[in-house]
Amino acid sequence: MAQCDSKIFFPDDPAHRPQFSECPRNSETKRRTFRFGDPAKGEPPVINSVVKLCRVCAREWDSQVLYAERIRVKAKVKAAGAR
């Protein structure tokens, strides 16, 4: 199996803090993501990629995506109410 692509290691014990080092676990799942390209470097406007993650890192990834989605929806509702 391939190694997890996460650059942050989340210990199994929640009492320990995350560490800024590569995760040593094997990847078990994939997540799709994107970033905006740099036209000065000749990159396309949007760069799609697939990230291989272990179970623990995937759980953290999903919680951050849900948090960002809640913020986006709240901002959209607030903007609609301001009209």
pLDDT digits (tens, 9 = 90+) for 8-46: 888 888 788 988 999 999 999 999 888 898 999 999 998
Residue 3 DSSP symbol: B
Give me the pLDDT at residue 83, please.
62
Residue pointed to by tokens 């849900």: 66
Give me the pLDDT at residue 25, please.
92
E strand map for the chain: 29-36, 46-53
22 Cβ contact list (under 8 Å, min separation 6): 3, 4, 6, 7, 9
> Token pair for residue 27?
């990847």
Asked whether the predicted pLDDT for residue 53 surpasses 90, the reply is yes
Q: How high does pLDDT run on average in the chain?
A: 87
